[in-house]
Amino acid sequence: MTYQVNEKGFYGKFGGAYIPEMLYPNIESLRNQYLEIIAKPEFQRDFNALLSDYVGRPTPLYFSKNMSAQYNCKLYLKREDLNHTGAHKINNTIGQILLARYLGKEKIIAETGAGQHGVATATVCALMNMDCIVYMGKVDTERQQANVARMRMLGAKVVAVTSGSQTLKDATNEAMRHWINHPEDTHYIIGSVVGPHPYPDMVARFQSVISKEIKSQLLKKEGRENPDAVIACVGGGSNAAGGFYHFLENQSVRLIAAEAAGLGVSTGKSAATTALGKDGILHGSRTLLMQTDDGQVIEPYSISAGLDYPGIGAMHAHLFDSRRADFYAITDEEAMESGLALSATEGIIPAIETAHALSVLDKVNFKPQDIVVIILSGRGDKDLETYSQYLNDKEAKR
């Protein structure tokens, strides 16, 4: 059994490329070329140089002394929050923009929900002097004005999408439509391990630098490459895919994913895809997704915009289905408390997405000698308003 993608683009029964005929040439050209381009020594040289000097890699693997004592295990934090732009997303956008240049593309499009992927894409477009259009639901542009401002400063055109519910799925549809009409000069940068093959595998490869670094850093610090467990939050699943990647085939490494339960798995306000989802097709991929009995996608809910997605990457659907990974559903409140706790005990304010991964420590017991790595996917600066509202509400309740 392997947990990697097969040559047809499937992880077990999940994955593939279920796309309209019109998109076929774009996807086919990408599928035929991505592995060869990524393997080129010049590509690897440019990718690694930018990761090092522009993004700031390798990110530290920090031994969290205070939390280790509290949870009675050896806890390490993989500091993706210290990357340029504040999260792991830039690892992928750097890889994809280099790939776009090898493919001879001049223009970039992307979709974004909260704006984090839009900012990471606009950043690399500024760096590479490429045209950038970011599709974003109108409702989201109003909720995420700071990220809209960032994208505009970086030179991107932000298109506010007014169809449907004016959120992420509508922005994705609009980006797809643009791509169908401009296949020659445009590359579409997808922000997570979702979408039709080869996107999930391509994004996982670019993010796999996370687990590659963990191996060499643990070898130095602990004398062994493999931890006992890796914990990551899952929206679409790209930081988790990167953190798990080099441990997938090693059964002695426990893989643990945290998804957003929102107000609670059974409240109707949730984004816990493995707990609630059923087999179906979303954004060109067969996966688990939240849907009604007649197959309508259910609007997800989470306090954290980055986990507010009705599906999950095909790799994770397979890891869940095969029981290779354990999934925990974490409520808004549990995540907020974990975010506050890390801030107070280690002086690190995490993104609320990341805080979901930290909450797993309250649900799983480890042994004192266990080495546990948590992927600290992003920093909490973007979430200060939500954190301070939470603190205000808590004080008012006292």
Q: Judged by CB, which is closer to ligand PLP: 61, or 271?
A: 271
Q: Judged by CB, which is closer to ligand PLP: 96, or 116?
A: 116
Task: Name the token pair of 111.
Answer: 């979709």
The bridge status of strand 74-78 relative to strand 157-161 is unpaired
The catalytically annotated residue of 89, 105, 169, 382 is 89
Helices (H), the chain: 24-39, 41-50, 65-71, 89-102, 116-128, 138-143, 145-153, 168-181, 199-207, 209-222, 238-244, 273-276, 314-321, 332-346, 352-359, 384-397
Q: Which residues, other chains included, contact 41 with Cβ-Cβ below 8 Å and sequence gap of 6+? A: none
CB of 233 to ligand PLP, least distance (A): 5
The catalytically annotated residue of 74, 78, 111, 382 is 111
163 is catalytic: no
Nearest CA to 242 among 271, 269, 283, 205?
205
Answer whether the bond into residue 58 is a cis peptide, omega within 30°. yes
Q: Judged by CB, which is closer to ligand PLP: 109, or 203?
A: 203
The catalytically annotated residue of 78, 105, 377, 382 is 377
Answer whether the bond into residue 198 is a cis peptide, omega within 30°. yes
Q: Under DSSP, is residue 136 helix (H, G, I), strand (E, B) or coil?
A: strand
Q: Judged by CB, which is closer to ligand PLP: 74, or 282?
A: 282
CB of 212 to ligand PLP, least distance (A): 17
Kindly report the backbone phi and psi dihedral angles of residue 254, in degrees, each rounded to the nearest multiple of 5, phi listed first: -80, 130
Convert 70-95 to b/e letters by CB count within 10 Å (16 or more is b). Answer: ebebbbbbbbbbbbbbbbbbbbbbbb
For ligand PLP, the nearest residue by Cβ is 378
Q: How many CB atoms lie within 10 A of CB 13?
A: 13
Q: Judged by CB, which is closer to ligand PLP: 74, or 376?
A: 376
Would you say how long the chain is, in residues?
398
Which amino acid, 94?
A: I
Q: Which residues bind ligand PLP (CB under 6 A)?
A: 87, 89, 116, 192, 233-239, 306-307, 351, 353-354, 377-378
Convert 289-316 to b/e letters by CB count within 10 Å (16 or more is b). Answer: bbbeeeeeeeebbbbbbbbbbbbbbbbb
111 is catalytic: yes
Q: Judged by CB, which is closer to ligand PLP: 16, or 115?
A: 115
89 is catalytic: yes
Active site residues: 89, 111, 377
